[in-house]
Every structure is written in C-alpha cells, then in structure tokens.
C-alpha cells in the first residue's frame, strides 16, 4: 500500500511539473488551446501511453545521475516490464534492492576517490610551479600584482574583485564579469579565502589554489561546484573596512555586506555549501 501511494505521489509530481511548465508557456504567449488528441482508440489506452511516456522521459533524464554513469537500458526495460506484469524474475525484489544499494555505495566511493585524486594530483604538481607558495594548511597562492600596506584581519570587511574556476578551466563565478566588486566580512567565507585574503594588501592581486578541505568539502555548492573540488580564484583586494566591535546587523544589511545573500547570478564564497546562493 505504501509503495502504491509513493508511486501515485511521484506521478502527481511529474504531471504537476509538466502542467506548471505548460501554464508558464501559455501565460507568456498567445496559445490556442485544443482538445488533447487521442493516440489510441480509447481513452484508457491513450492515458496509459501518456503515463509511460512521461515516466520514461523523467526517468531517462535522471538516469544520467546514477553513480558510475553507466546502465543497460534494455535490461532496465526488461526488469520494469517483468515487475509490471508480475512475471517470473531472475532475482527477488529483496535481492534486487540489496544489489542496487550495494552497487550505488560502491560506485559513489569510486567516484569520490577519483575526484579526490584529481585534486590531489593537481595540487602536487602545482606546488612546484614558479612563484607558487604553500601555507601550513595546504593553501597554495601566487602573487600576481604585489602591493605594500596594511593587511586585513579575519574580522574585517573586505572589498574585492574575483574570478573562480575549477581545475579543468570551467568558470563558475566572476565579479569581474558582472562589473561589480563584492564586499563581505572575511570571517564569513570559506577557509581558503579567510586565510588567503589576510596575506594581501590593498591593490594587490593573488591567485589562490584552494584544496577541497579549505573550500566546500565533500558537499560541493550550488550545483556548479562538485564535491571534493579543488578551486582556483584570482582575487584583487580593493579596500579594507576595519572591524567595528559595536556594529549591528542593521548596519551590515544597510551596507549590503552580508555574504550569504545573492543578487542575480552573484555568488559569495561563503562557509556553507548548502545554499545554491553560495559557491
């Protein structure tokens, strides 16, 4: 009974989503509403085909997300058909559930090891590159534009321009592209930023190579930064606003200096990786 209810809930979500998309299209355009065509000779057959098409389409999109990225479509269809017709199966439902669970666990572990290995190899090679320095925490940095002067503390608010990329060159965020620098308290960002920007003086520009332990860890962020990702940031320090002990939340909000908030496509390298508003 519980499985039946769950299936009905899933189907309602699928059709509800499709209906919502259709309404959005109709709202934005002048669409002539016509009667739903009958593909087969009776409504039950047409509904059944429509149901299979919707479920199959949604399942196909999600199939790519299975760890390992591989599957046998023909055997998926065979297993599905066997279960739907209640035919004799090659394994019990309990065996199938257990096997699937173990496969996913193993595949996820393998993917994790590959992602970790990619970052570790990159950092191992990069640390010997010309001009690259390494801190005790494993943060790597390179001075692109030197400058002398006061450096920020972890409690200060800084104003910066930055560009963030993955080690494969994929750009996931850039205040430079948006044409607007960003301002935030330095103790409210990822560890790599909190540590790295404190090395800078106003007017300097650094390149940081941030291991996942100083970035977004095993969770990733915002759907654009994968789990265990090593990140590369080019950061220009524009200004430092010293910490004021009696500053209020209202003051911070007035100055739009809360790094957990997002405007447009702007991302902040904040500590938490749970929000899609954060890198």
The verdict on whether 45 is a catalytic residue reads no
Yes or no: say if 205 and 185 are a contact pair by the CB < 8 Å rule.
no
Compute CA 146 distance to the chain's CA centroid, rounded to the nearest angstrom.
33
d(CA 116, CA 33): 52
Catalytic residue among 162, 184, 208, 209: 162
The verdict on whether 66 is a catalytic residue reads no
Q: Is 169 exposed, middle or buried (0-12, 13-18, 19+ CB in 10 A)?
A: exposed
The verdict on whether 162 is a catalytic residue reads yes
Catalytic residue among 141, 206, 212, 233: 233
Find the helix or strand (DSSP H, E) in which 45 lies: helix 43-63
Rg of the chain over Cα atoms, rounded to whole angstroms, equals: 26
Catalytic residue among 141, 156, 182, 190: 190
Catalytic residue among 141, 184, 208, 216: 216
Give, in order, the Cα–Cα distances in Å from 251 to each of 104, 248, 261: 48, 5, 15
Cα–Cα nearest to 167, from 236, 108, 235, 116? 116
Read off the tokens for 160. Answer: 């910066």
Q: Is 267 exposed, middle or buried (0-12, 13-18, 19+ CB in 10 A)?
A: buried
* DSSP annotation string for 186-255: GGGB-HHHHHHHTT--TT-EEEEEE-GGGTTTTT-BTTTB-TT--EEEEEEEEEEE---TT--HHHHHHT
The verdict on whether 252 is a catalytic residue reads no
Cα-based torsion angle of the residue sequence 103, 109, 112, 117 in order, rounded to the nearest 10 degrees: -120
d(CA 9, CA 63): 19
Cite the active site residues. 162, 172-173, 190, 216, 233
């Amino acid at each position: 009974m519980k499985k039946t209810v769950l299936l009905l809930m899933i189907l309602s979500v699928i059709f509800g989503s499709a209906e919502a998309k259709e309404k959005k299209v109709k709202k934005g355009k002048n669409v002539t509403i016509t009667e739903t065509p009958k593909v087969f000779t009776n409504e039950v057959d047409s509904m059944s085909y429509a149901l299979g098409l919707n479920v199959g389409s949604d399942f196909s999109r999600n199939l790519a997300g299975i760890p390992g990225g591989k599957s046998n479509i023909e055997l998926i269809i065979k297993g599905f058909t066997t279960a739907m017709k209640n035919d004799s199966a090659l394994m019990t439902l309990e065996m199938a559930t257990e096997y699937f669970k173990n496969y996913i666990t193993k595949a996820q572990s393998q993917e994790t090891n590959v992602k970790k290995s990619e970052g570790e190899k990159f950092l191992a090679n990069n640390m010997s590159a010309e001009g690259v320095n390494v801190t005790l925490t494993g943060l790597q940095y390179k001075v692109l534009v030197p400058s002398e002067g006061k450096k920020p503390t972890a409690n200060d608010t800084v104003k910066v321009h930055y560009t963030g990329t993955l080690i494969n060159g994929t750009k996931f965020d850039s205040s430079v592209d948006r044409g607007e620098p960003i301002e935030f308290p330095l103790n409210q960002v990822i560890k790599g930023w909190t540590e790295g920007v404190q090395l800078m003086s106003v007017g300097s520009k650094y390149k940081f190579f941030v291991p996942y332990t100083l970035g977004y860890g095993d969770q990733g962020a915002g759907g654009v930064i994968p789990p265990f990702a090593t990140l590369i940031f080019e950061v220009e320090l524009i200004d430092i606003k010293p910490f004021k002990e009696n500053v209020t939340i209202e003051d911070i909000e007035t100055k739009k200096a809360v790094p957990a908030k997002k405007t447009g496509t702007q991302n902040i390298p904040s500590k938490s990786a749970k929000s899609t508003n954060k890198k």
